[in-house]
């Protein structure tokens, strides 16, 4: 008999095609869960780096299945409330339940306020903040009906502090924390916990891409990720420029498991000490 902690449970993960979302999906599969991964699988013209593709989504399905788990891929846009309601309904119908939501979908973008692109602002807020709202709203009735649920949202170290030049991203991630704390109070009577993680720089395509590397090292003609690590490491306290996605997945799994039954409304920093620079 298997004794994995998520045997019989279902985890729904937005932004699941690659990066942290893929890492979360694999972590849950290894612990016995069936997984549904939701991703838009198309680029946004306002965002300067390529987003996940349908091939990425298919690859994650194959990786989850290799771990022995069942994986349902869904192409949907977290910005669209109706699409997220449909996605949640599909997961509940096909897999029979939704025990866990990881509202992970996110994009990086922003400009100095004096040179801001309104379209980029709208897209970043729509994915990073409205997308979390739409995802939680879609699964909440299902979880309420079962009197059980675990929701983990993804904020950022920039949701606890700030740096210049990325106002849209900072605003969206601060908003995720406020939304998480409010939703935790709304859903507590129904056996549902809602917590956030606040990652530092994670080695995913959202950080490790040519556009961001050039942005942080404008002094070099052809900068590499090794060049960018000089700046990225300054955002952390510990001497580590990039974190492994698996480090974040371990915390997501903990917050979704039985040991975290009485943790709700919390923000867990996994930011190589960046949180040491901000108030509690």
CATH number for 194: 3.40.50.720
Q: Against a cut of 0.75, is the pTM above it?
A: yes
Instruction: Give the residue numbers spanning the domain of 34.
Output: 10-207+242-271
Residue at 257 is within a domain: yes
Residue at 236 is within a domain: no
Mean pLDDT score of the chain, rounded to an integer?
Answer: 96
Band (pLDDT 50/70/90 cuts) for residue 108 is very high
Residue at 5 is within a domain: no
Band (pLDDT 50/70/90 cuts) for residue 3 is confident
The structural domain count of the chain equals 1
- What's residue 210's pLDDT? 95
- What's residue 2's pLDDT? 64
pLDDT in tens, 179-229: 999 999 999 999 999 999 999 999 999 999 999 999 999 999 999 999 999
Q: Which of 55, 67, 53, 54 is nearest to 23 (CA)?
A: 67
Considering only residues 111 and 10, tell me which one the structure prediction assigns the higher pLDDT: 10
Residue at 277 is within a domain: no
**Known active-site residue 169:** yes
Band (pLDDT 50/70/90 cuts) for residue 1 is low
Residue at 3 is within a domain: no
The percentage of residues in the chain with a pLDDT greater than 70, rounded to a whole number, is 99
Residue 279: pLDDT above 90?
Answer: no
For residue 247, what is the DSSP state?
H
Residue at 216 is within a domain: no
**Which one of the listed residues 169, 174, 175, 199 is annotated catalytic?**
169
Residue at 68 is within a domain: yes
- What's residue 110's pLDDT? 85
Residue at 33 is within a domain: yes
């Amino acid at each position: 008999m298997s004794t994995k902690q998520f045997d019989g449970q279902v985890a729904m993960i937005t932004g699941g095609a690659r990066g942290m979302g893929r890492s979360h999906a694999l972590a849950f599969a290894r612990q016995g869960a069936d997984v549904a991964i939701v991703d838009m699988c198309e680029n946004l013209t306002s965002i300067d780096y390529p987003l996940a593709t349908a091939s990425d989504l298919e690859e994650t399905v194959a990786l989850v299945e290799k771990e022995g788990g069942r994986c349902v891929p869904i192409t949907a846009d977290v910005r669209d409330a109706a699409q997220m309601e449909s996605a949640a309904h599909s997961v509940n119908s096909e897999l029979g339940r939704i025990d866990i939501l990881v509202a992970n979908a996110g994009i990086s973008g922003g400009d100095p306020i004096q040179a801001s692109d309104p379209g980029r602002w709208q897209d970043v807020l729509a994915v990073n903040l409205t997308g979390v709202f739409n995802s939680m709203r879609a699964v909440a009735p299902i979880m309420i009906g079962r009197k059980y649920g675990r929701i983990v949202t993804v904020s950022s170290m920039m949701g606890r502090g700030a740096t210049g030049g990325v106002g849209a991203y900072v605003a969206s991630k601060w908003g995720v924390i406020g939304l998480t704390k409010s939703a935790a109070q709304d859903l507590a009577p129904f056996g549902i916990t809602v917590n956030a993680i606040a990652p530092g720089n994670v080695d995913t395509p959202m950080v490790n891409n040519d556009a961001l590397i050039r942005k942080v090292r404008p002094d070099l003609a052809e900068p590499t990720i090794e060049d960018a690590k000089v700046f990225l490491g300054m955002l952390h306290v510990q001497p580590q420029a990039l974190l492994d996605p698996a480090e974040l997945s371990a915390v997501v799994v903990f917050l979704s498991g039985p040991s975290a039954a009485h943790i709700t409304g919390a923000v867990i920093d996994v930011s190589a000490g960046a949180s040491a620079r901000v108030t509690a």
